[in-house]
Amino acid sequence: MAETAVITVADLVKQFGRFAALRGVSANFAPRRLYALLGDNGAGKTTLLRSLAGLTPPTRGRISVLGTTNLRSICSRIGYMAHPSLLYDEMTGIENLRYFARLYGIEGDRRCRQVIGAVKLDPALSRPVGQYSQGMRQRMSLARALLNDPEILLLDEPFSNVDTASAREMSALLGQMRDGGKTVFVVTHQALLLEAVADEFIWMEAGRIARRTASLEPGEQT
């Protein structure tokens, strides 16, 4: 039984001047899965993710997310996280989240405490985010992406520079999110971290999807 794809990409091309970051990506992505986007630097993973988030308009081709090509209209159902933290260094975690929650029309602290707890951080922490360790910062950034309880999570290198314990916890959390009905995309260099939870591994090469596998073959670690 074919599920309706939650994201469809058709002949997606993205050029920055003469450099083509994406050279015709076509794929369907089913809902309630965890996809690992892998590949070398410059393969186009980040560009693809940003295109799905609506941050980078395509040069050519079509992107359809949650049934529409107007990505602004469904932006409240998407969560995005990148390697920069997307947080204010000078505010505490809860203050940051309180503000970003308002961007989604969420008032009050309850939701903020909930997501901070979900990433195993302390909501009462009064240290500004700028003084967090990288692992804590990535987790707080993930919490921010979860504020609006998005149906689709787009994460770019969430494990980068994060200590192994935190990374494993995040990976498990992402698996839980997927189990709870979310569709999760994770761009990473560290495929091993997702081995246990990912439904599919998508390998990108030179701006195209090279192959999609359901599991990691030995030797396909990065």
The contacts of residue 186 (CB under 8 Å, 6+ apart) are: 34, 35, 36, 37, 155, 158, 174, 194, 198
User: Which range binds another protein by CB under 8 A, 29-37, 168-176, 190-198, 202-210?
Assistant: 202-210
Confirm or reject binding of residue 76 to another protein (CB under 8 A).
yes
User: Which range binds another protein by CB under 8 A, 2-10, 27-35, 102-110, 211-219?
Assistant: 102-110
| Of residues 26, 28, 29, the one with CA closest to residue 183 | 29
Residues 130-159 that bind another protein (CB under 8 A): 144, 148
Confirm or reject binding of residue 43 to another protein (CB under 8 A).
yes
Cross-strand partners of 212:
202
Q: What angle do CA 155, 74, 68 make, to 5 degrees?
A: 105
Smallest gap, in angstroms, from Cβ of residue 94 to another protein?
Answer: 13
Question: Of 104 and 113, which has the nearer Cβ to another protein?
Answer: 104
Distance between CA atoms of 3 and 135, rounded to whole angstroms?
36
Confirm or reject binding of residue 58 to another protein (CB under 8 A).
no
- Tell me the residue ranges of DSSP E strands in the chain: 7-16, 19-29, 34-39, 60-65, 78-81, 152-156, 183-187, 200-205, 208-213
Q: What length does the chain have? A: 222
Question: Of 152 and 197, which has the nearer Cβ to another protein?
Answer: 152
Confirm or reject binding of residue 108 to another protein (CB under 8 A).
no
Confirm or reject binding of residue 160 to another protein (CB under 8 A).
no
Question: Of 93 and 197, which has the nearer Cβ to another protein?
Answer: 93
Interacting residues with another protein (CB under 8 A): 13, 15-20, 23-24, 40-43, 53-57, 72, 75-76, 78, 80, 82, 84-91, 99-100, 102-105, 144, 148, 205-207
